[in-house]
Every structure is written in C-alpha cells, then in structure tokens.
Structure 1
Amino acid sequence: MPDPVPARRRPTRARRVAATVLAVLLALVAAPAAPAHAATGSYFAGVYTSLAGARDYHGYVPSTYRSGTPMPLLVALHGCTENDVGFDLLTGLSALAERRGFLVVFPDQTALANPAKCWNWPLTVNQHRGLGEPSIIAGITNLMRSRYTVDAARVYVTGVSAGAVLSTIMAVTYPDLYAAAAIVAGCEYECDLLRFRTPDQAGLDAYREMGSRARPVPVLIFQGTADLVVPPVTADRIVGQWAQTDDLAIDGRDNDDVSATPSLVQRGQVPGGRTYTRSIHRGPDGTVLIEKYLIDGAGHAYPGGCSCSLYGDPSGPDASGLSWDFFLAHPRR
C-alpha cells in the first residue's frame, strides 16, 4: 500500500511521532464534545530487539489509563510502503484509543528487512510461532504487557494489506495472545495468490499451526469490490479458512460447527457514502465468529480512513470504529 507520508526525505523518528501527536490532538478537538475536564493521553516510542531482528514502534496511552487497572491493547500493522506513523494518521486509532479507552501500539517495518516496507509474509519463516516477524510482533505485544497494566483477555491485532496478512498469521500462530483479529484487504493463512489450494486446506494448516493452543478465533474482514491489488474473492477465501480453522478448534472435528455459508446477510449504506454487504457466520452457541464487510466500489484503501491520506476512503464504513466494536464483543475465552 503506497505511503501516505511524502517520500522526499525520511523524517526523524521524533518528528514523525510529533506529527502524529499534532494530528491526533486535532482529531480530538474535532471529536464530539467531551466533559469540560477532558485530558489527552501520551505517546511513547522505542525499538524492540530480539534474535529475529529489531523494529521501531510507537503507541498511545489514553488519559483514562491507570496503572493497576487492566486496559485492552490493540496491535496495528501498516501496509507496504507505509510506516507506523502514517498508519496511525490513516486509521485515527490513537484518537479512537483516547475516546474509547484502550492502549494501541504500531510496530514499524524497516526498509532493511523489505525495501518496500512490506511485512515479509510470503517467507515460510514468517508463518510460524517463535520465528521471524511473528516473534517480533509478539515480542512488542508482550513488551507492552510488561510496561502497562493490560487486560490479558483483551489483546487484539489488526492490519491493512500486508499488515492484514500478518494479522491473520498472528492470530494463527499466537491464539493464546490475541483474542480476535481485524483484516483489511488481506489474505488467508499461507496466502495462496494463485489459488491452487482450497480455503479448507489453509484452514487445516492454520489449525495444525495452532497446536495445543487451538481455539476458535473471531475475525472481522473488510474488502472492496474494486480492489485492484487484492482480488475481492480473497475475502471469501479468508472466510473459508477461518470457518475451517474455528470449526476444528471447537472440538477437533470437521463437522461444520462453523460454516463458510453465512448465518445472516445484510445490506447497508454509510450515510452519503458507500453501500456494502455485511455477512455474519456464527458458532454452534450462536457466537459471531466471522464477520465480513464487502464494500461496493471500494479500492485498495482503508474504509473510513482519513481524507488526509491518499489511501483513506472516508466514504466507506468506519473500519476502525467497527473493529473496536467487534473486539469489545470478543474477549479471549
């Protein structure tokens, strides 16, 4: 996904984070009226280093955070040619974290690992627990848990494009860490671009990767019908993979406890914006395990994203707000 930050000269980390601070303060000012004593939270930034490599990150702590009182945590992964700060501006997640009370951290891919700043999801080493980039993202997540009072049952992961593919990988490789995932223009586990393998096969591989940690992971999917980078049919492959994975994770049997056929299909429209189809897939107890938004006419962009970015689509459903609603309904059980 092209970078919404101008590419003339890479700004220093301090300047990048300062730009995010300013943008979020402006977003907070534009937000609906809050109590007169409303305060703002604080930003943090750092570098995480492990045997698998080093990555920058930045994040936001809302003003409502109190040490000793558990708070949810969201890990947000940018797309190709983006960076962590650009993704924060695009999604408005720091501003949302202030309004709705959660911690958020944005890992940053390095150009040393990928010149286009894509997460390297096609590499086998990055599709398994304890290895490569998944271990780095999990390491950053656990670093946040060690520094802040995080609700262990409410740790979530989201991403767009390459970050969405990695979000799927994180939910598969660390189902004991992430309660649920939101996938924006992403791909199924092991992402078969040529579609030689069925979603059921990907679902079985994902279940095997989970191992003894297997559990049904709720996922929310966003996909545009006019996306020229990710074929819209990929959203159905993600649904099929997770239907199979969650079905097996419930009782170890392939018995359609979760089906790739939706339980409910609804049509909707953003006021003055795009129409969409929302599909819901439930587990045997009625719990929503898979939810998909197929957005009419949307390209490879972030739905509801800031108009300050070339890759925000303000006319689409509010992916950030809808994702947080979904996450709140799905703590890890």
Structure 2
Amino acid sequence: MIAGITRQIMRDHAIDPKRVYVAGLSAGGAAAAIMGATYSDLYAAVGIHSGLACGAASDLPSAFVAMRQGGGSRAIPNGKNSVPTIVFHGNRDTTVHPKNGDQIIEQSAGAMRPTTKVLRGRVPDGHAYTRAVLTDGAGRVISEHWTIDGGGHAWSGGSPAGSYTDPHGPDATREMLRFFLEHSLGG
C-alpha cells in the first residue's frame, strides 16, 4: 500500500525517481525498514527513528518481545539489496529497546563488512550522542547510527510543542535530509 501511494505521487508530480526516500518513527520506523528492505528499487535511502528492523516480528506478541528486547531476524528478506539507512535511537528508550537500532544497522550492512568510524558530540544545552558512520569498500557511506545519550522514545530535535518529540536534539530531521541528499538510486 505504501509503495503504491509512493508510485501514485511519483506519477502525479514531477518527482526524480532516483531521489525517493522513506522515514518514520516507532511503528512508522518499522514500516520504513520494511519498505527499504522490500522495495530497494523504489527508495534511495531509509530513515528509521526508534523502530524495528524488517522481519524483527511476525505478529503482535513477537512485536512486543522485539520492542522490549530486540527482534529476531537480521537478514534482508528475499535476498534484496540493502538500502542506505540512517537510524536514530535514544539509549533510554523504554518503548522500543535501543538494541533494535543495532539490529537495523546489522541488517542494512547485509553480508558486507563495512568500515566504521565513530564520532561523538553534544548539542549545546542538549543531549550528547554517538554517531557511527559505516562505509563500504569504495568509501561510500552505507549507513549511520545515531545513539542519543539520555534520549527516550521521541523524535530527536523535534519541536517542544509536538508529542513524542525531544527538543534537546540532535536534529534528526536535518541529519536525515542531509543523509538522503547524499544518496540516489544507482548513485
């Protein structure tokens, strides 16, 4: 259904088919992971905030287990190519266990053995964070994993007026857009 909506929007509007992205928070993040894993020919990159990896759960009970302690499957279903993926997860998220962010990154690497560079930072008057940048053998960034120190189950850098937002950053929206603009299908 989401892929169909995406394709309809692409037909109705002047959209560069090499620059279509999907992102979400929590259940929306899990949906984005599924879309990236199953429609690698449609989406150029995926953004997942506080979500589950594709295949981490198969029904409601296994979803609750995955949310509490991390999911099961780590393989990309049907041998599909992985899509460049950026993940944000608070290390104090009590709704979706932070281990899920690690599993998403493992899944996005697939059989590849990427090189990882770890950067640490702090938002002024906000959260500290760790940013792991994974690159392939050619030096292309294939994924980023942002762990927000003290972050809970909320969109990092979101407006204080919003629900499920954390204005203490880092700004997940800005960083996802930066990451997306660095990736295109076939690029």
Task: Return the TM-score normalized by structure 1.
Answer: 0.51
Name which of 75, 80, 100 aligns with 1:234: 100
8 Å CA contact 2:134, 2:141 repeated in 1: yes
8 Å CA contact 2:47, 2:85 repeated in 1: yes
The one-letter amino acid of 1:258's match is: R
Query: Does residue 208 of structure 1 match 2:78?
Result: yes
8 Å CA contact 1:258, 1:281 repeated in 2: no
8 Å CA contact 1:303, 1:317 repeated in 2: yes
Distance 1:144 1:181 in 2: 18
How many angstroms does 1:187 deviate by?
1.1
Query: What's 1:253 paired with?
Result: none
Instruction: State the Cα deviation string for residues 66-120 of structure 1 (Å, max 9, x = none).
Output: xxxxxxxxxxxxxxxxxxxxxxxxxxxxxxxxxxxxxxxxxxxxxxxxxxxxxxx
Distance 2:155 2:36 in 1: 20
3-state SS in 2 of match to 1:150: coil
Name which of 40, 45, 48 aligns with 1:180: 45
Off by >2 Å, runs of 4+ in structure 1 = 194-197
How many angstroms does 1:310 deviate by?
3.1
How many angstroms does 1:207 deviate by?
4.6
Kindly report which structure 2 residues correspond to 1:1-333, keeping only aligned pairs within 5 A, or say none.
136-192=1-57, 193=66, 197=72, 202-203=74-75, 206-208=76-78, 210=80, 214=81, 216-244=82-110, 247=111, 257-259=112-114, 263-333=116-186
3-state SS in 1 of match to 2:120: strand
Computing the radius of gyration over CA atoms, which structure comes out larger, 1 or 2? 1
Distance 2:29 2:108 in 1: 14
Query: What's 2:63 paired with?
Result: none
Distance 1:166 1:177 in 2: 14
Query: Percent same amino acid among aligned pairs?
Result: 38
Cα gap change, 1:268 to 1:332, in 2 (>3 Å): same
8 Å CA contact 2:56, 2:71 repeated in 1: no
Distance 1:321 1:267 in 2: 17
Distance 1:166 1:319 in 2: 18
RMSD: 1.6
How many angstroms does 1:195 deviate by?
5.0
Alignment size in residue pairs:
176
8 Å CA contact 1:158, 1:164 repeated in 2: yes
Is there any run of 5+ residues in structure 2 with no aligned partner, and where?
A: 58-65
Distance 2:51 2:71 in 1: 18
Is there any run of 5+ residues in structure 1 with no aligned partner, and where?
A: 1-135, 248-256
8 Å CA contact 1:172, 1:209 repeated in 2: no
3-state SS in 2 of match to 1:202: coil
Q: Which has the higher contact order (CA 8 A, sep 6+)?
A: 2
Cα gap change, 1:236 to 1:196, in 2 (>3 Å): closer
How many angstroms does 1:258 deviate by?
3.0
The one-letter amino acid of 1:151's match is: D
Distance 1:195 1:229 in 2: 11
How many angstroms does 1:140 deviate by?
0.9
